Structure 1
Amino acid sequence: MADANMAKKLPQETFKTVVSSTPLVSIDLLVRNASGEVLLGERLNRPAQGFWFVPGGRIVKDEPLARAFLRLTEEELGVAVPMTQAEFLGPYEHFYTDNFSGEDFSTHYVVLGYAVELDLDLAALPNQQHGRYRWWQVDELLASPEVHKHSKWYLDANAN
């Protein structure tokens, strides 16, 4: 297995070449609280900028999946959650016409969806990817045009 300390993010120009040429592998987190509400954040960055979206992020090269899960839950939720405490929802594909740097090429993600139950304080959540957060009722989330379709897929098996 690769050394987890060797995992690193790419320089921006190199990453642009990767995004324009290959699919990315990521983890999305369907977070429910004890009341069954779903956590969504309003995306600050491309792709899906301005939409309400589940937390998640990319797996980086040489990063074992379990370590990526710990890192992403800590970065996105402020608490490191072991993958063993999550339910695997399955693989998904997300296609976007834009990318993190603009609209000159598309983004393709192969996403591993996971569900976790956590009661989180919205005010304490990180704000690098999402400007604000809220808990959504499932029926409200599925009906809202402000929620990105890719986030709805984790709750509506017929939508994927």
Structure 2
Amino acid sequence: MGSQPSKGGEVQVFQPQTQIDFSEALLAQLESSKESDYSRRQLAERYVEQRVSDRLSELEEDTLKKFENRLESSLLKGDSSDGEGSSLSSAALNEKIEQLNQKLGLFQERDDAQRAKYADGDARKALHKCLLENKGKPLNCYEEIEQFKKLVFS
């Protein structure tokens, strides 16, 4: 490619072995044509790109419709007409979640109350003091830890 210098505007004419006759109209049309191999290649590439783009958009729309249909079919419907109390629906699940959140809140309140009860206790203070005095040696406070565990977990 780079070993030969570019030829600028040079026209090569090939003489065929046999006589070929073209009409004057065809020759005039070919000579006046602005199309070259490069422009035809660009047109072909644009055509292929457009076809690929159209097909991709069709596939995208089709996939989106399938996804929406599957999503709609997978969503749990509201109150069913069969009258089952245990039927699954979005509303029933939301209600169960709300009930669980309320129970969790009650457990949290009870846990906070127990922590407050032991926060000011003598066993906690003794354990805290022992751990401060024996920094890096928590096994020296084994008895205080066991006493605190008995209070908390009983």
TM superposition score category, shorter chain reference: under 0.3
Q: Which has the higher contact order (CA 8 A, sep 6+)?
A: 1
Q: TM-score scaled by structure 1?
A: 0.18
TM score, norm. by length of structure 2: 0.18
More strand by share: 1
Higher helix share: 2
